[in-house]
Structure 1
Amino acid sequence: MAKNNRKMAYLPENALNAICPYFTMFPLEYPLKKLKNHRKEQPVIMDPFCGRGTTLFAARKLKMKAWGIDTSPIAVAIAKAKLAQCLKNNAINLARLLVESITPKNIPETPFFKLAYHEDTLKEICALREGLLNLEQETDESIILKAAILGCLHGPLSKTAENAGYFSNQMPRTYASKPDYAVRFWNQRELSPRKISTIEVIKRKIKRLTGLEDGEKNTPAQVIEGDAQELKTLPEGCKDFSIVVTSPPYYGMKTYVQDQWLRNWFLGGTPYVDYNIKPQLNHGGQEAFAQSLGKVWDNMAQSHSESLHMYVRFGVIPSATVDPKVLFRSSLAASKCNWKLVSTRSAKTAAEGKRQAGQMKAGSTAAVEYDFHVKRL
């Protein structure tokens, strides 16, 4: 299964889904399989924890309309790209225009940024950042460009600068190392940043994308930045969904945005790790978490569709001695809606699809995940 997951992830036809590496990479096979089972119904899809938008991409591939919600601005920026439509050259030309026309006003001067990027490369990154932040109106081209830059912002060094796929000094590609750790790592190994052409890296990234011009039934506006626990996050226009496919954050995992702090900076956040950003769900105990998740299920139940199916992949971090099956059932019980738990199946471990646990810290133990099928009564 793991081999198949990796194979699908790297198929050229799915390059858009991989536009930005993300440590909560939801295996594409899961939403595709569930959505194909409902293909004849031509349903509208909802993912209240959309992350990088793999459920949305699966819906796009199957020509289904889809909605996504997430509190993380990084997740929303990446997910929007899964529903964007544009010509590749238009996105590349926008990058070139921003780099050539903008002299950045704010260039971070911390030890991290001085060692993370070559001086000239950092200027180009800041020009792109300020240019995108100051656009009067977001376009599909700017959405694709933004997601591509987030995907190139940090990652492993290539053998030569000419073949670089990332802008940075040696770093993980799925999450950002904390500044102090990264500086020590680079200094101990005498690693200096290379001068990288951001335009050339972006061009290689975007040129690989397929299907950008084919995205009927969907627009990036169908990705909403907000808390799925709050009913106001779901406007009336998005309550036409009949299928929910989602994977909530692991119980005990509270630092999604902090682990993506460098991408958060590019989107307008601070040039340091901001620990004041709170997680979407309440991790203050099993009951609190179940109640918090139950609010999301309540809001999903507000769908105007005659029938509603939810497919949920769920797990907990290995250090939390909690049975995910019990915790999920508790979340259903906390909901005010009547749900029928149709099936519960093991999804093996998160490592099978390179999902959450294995990508966060070296040596971490992968969590066991379960797939739940739930139907509204």
Structure 2
Amino acid sequence: MRPLAYNPSFALNAICPYFTMFPLEYPLRVLKRHRAQKPVVMDPFCGRGTTLFAARVLGLESWGVDTSPVAVAIAKAKLSNSSAEDALCLAHVLLLTTKPVLVPKGPFFESAYHHKTLEAICALREALLEIGDSDESVMLRAAILGCLHGPLLKGGEASYFSNQMPRTYAPKPDYSVEFWKKRNLVAPEVDVLKVLERKLKLIAASRKLAESSYTHVIHGDSTACKSLPATRQHSVVVTSPPYYGMKTYVQDQWLRNWFLGGPETVDYGAGLQIEHTGQDVFASSLGKVWANMANTKAPDLHMYVRFGVIPSAKVNAKELMHKSLEASGVNFRVVSARNALSAHSGKRQAEQMRAASGACDEYDFHIVKQ
């Protein structure tokens, strides 16, 4: 069966590729089981918003939380009510009315983008930081993030703004510059509006979705109650926590983070995320999230969790998941734990600038609060 990632009706879900994303089929399959009850859906590690999009397709209310501003920006677009035309119109206006003040210099940016393309990107960056969120700006911002870096095309129209790069993550500056120099790769002059128009036209082909609210996506830490909605009525949680041992989410998204107002250099800090300093610490930190999920006014709670570890961690994923549930202090029962195959199954991974690595073993857990 052809994956939903290639279905034009669901093009909005592909507005921006994101590393370690799970396929749309998973939350759709899970949520269809509960659709008749009209549950409120929660994803405490919402990433690029695949669960939220699946809930919207099925006409369900959803909430998402993530520590990454990049993830939040992408997820908000999945709940935006903007048309593709309105988002593109906003881009036209912003480019006509904004002259960028800060255009980064240095080997990376000078090699990653043609100078005219970079000026247009910076104009959109500064304007979007100034005007804040609306349905149109949320949609446009995510479309720009999706076009910010990616592979060069050998023929036809450009789909990305950059020199040769992966779609899902941004390699470090020194590595990138060396890669381009060795292969004599030069950043093309790209018409930013044409690239965005091509991206947004794909989204315009999507099926008509129910009205939703991008304000239901929260930039916060799900281990802390203050990051979650004040009144929680969710009865279904569908999520995938960070892989145990995976500590580079912040660094891998450094260039998109720059566009959202972050530094033009790589931040090597851990950022706000589940602690990875040991299995017990990880389980305790993740247990706080499960405890917060259990704190809901809904009479029943079903949690569907896709959980994995990176191969180098040499940790039993199922045991670690059970340990985190025990650490929550909540009386949970594991209904099922099935192998979800590997993280590479059914997906194309961006490999233009990264050597192949082993896939992560993942398990799908169905957990209920007793």
Aligned to 2:133: 138
Aligned to 1:19: 15
Residue by residue, what CA displacement relative to the aligned partner does 1:68-88 show, whole Å, maximum 9, x if unpaired?
000000000000000000122
Q: Residues of 1 paired with 2:294 and 2:126: CA distance?
A: 40
Aligned to 1:105: 101
The offset of 1:361, in angstroms, is 4.0
Q: Residues of 1 paired with 2:208 and 2:134: CA distance?
A: 16
The offset of 1:99, in angstroms, is 1.2
Aligned to 1:347: 340
Q: Does 1:155 align with 2:150?
A: yes
Contact 2:42–2:234, Cα closer than 8 Å, also in 1: yes
Q: Aligned residues, how many?
A: 370
Q: Does 1:304 align with 2:297?
A: yes
Q: Residues of 1 paired with 2:87 and 2:345: CA distance?
A: 34
Contact 2:149–2:162, Cα closer than 8 Å, also in 1: yes
Relative distance call for 1:124 and 1:21 in structure 2 (3 A) is same
The offset of 1:351, in angstroms, is 0.8
Equivalent of 2:369, from 342, 351, 376?
376
Q: Which runs of 5+ in 2 are unaligned?
A: none
Contact 1:74–1:257, Cα closer than 8 Å, also in 2: no
Report the TM-score when normalising by structure 1.
Answer: 0.95
Aligned to 2:53: 57
Q: Does 1:269 align with 2:257?
A: no
Contact 2:8–2:206, Cα closer than 8 Å, also in 1: no
Relative distance call for 1:144 and 1:172 in structure 2 (3 A) is same
Aligned to 2:225: 231
Contact 1:261–1:274, Cα closer than 8 Å, also in 2: yes
Q: Which runs of 5+ in 1 are unaligned?
A: none
Shift >6 Å, 4+ stretches: 355-360
Equivalent of 1:338, from 311, 331, 338?
331
Contact 1:44–1:243, Cα closer than 8 Å, also in 2: yes
Equivalent of 1:166, from 160, 165, 187?
160
Contact 2:240–2:305, Cα closer than 8 Å, also in 1: yes
Give secondary structure in 1 for the equivalent of 2:275. Answer: coil
Equivalent of 2:309, from 309, 316, 326?
316
The offset of 1:25, in angstroms, is 1.8
Give secondary structure in 1 for the equivalent of 2:22. Answer: coil
Q: Residues of 2 paired with 1:319 and 1:118: CA distance?
A: 38
Give secondary structure in 2 for the equivalent of 1:369. Answer: strand
Relative distance call for 1:271 and 1:221 in structure 2 (3 A) is same
Residue by residue, what CA displacement relative to the aligned partner does 1:289-310 show, whole Å, maximum 9, x if unpaired?
0000000000000111000000
Q: Residues of 2 paired with 1:356 and 1:226: CA distance?
A: 28
Aligned AA (2:141): K
Equivalent of 1:177, from 159, 171, 176?
171
Q: Residues of 2 paired with 1:150 and 1:232: CA distance?
A: 28
Aligned to 2:192: 198
The offset of 1:240, in angstroms, is 1.1
Aligned to 1:218: 212
Q: Residues of 1 paired with 2:130 and 2:104: CA distance?
A: 18
Contact 1:154–1:169, Cα closer than 8 Å, also in 2: yes
Q: Residues of 2 paired with 1:184 and 1:358: CA distance?
A: 17
Aligned AA (1:118): H
Relative distance call for 1:355 and 1:317 in structure 2 (3 A) is farther
The offset of 1:101, in angstroms, is 1.3
Aligned AA (1:92): L
Relative distance call for 1:358 and 1:338 in structure 2 (3 A) is farther
Give secondary structure in 1 for the equivalent of 2:238. Answer: strand
Aligned to 1:68: 64
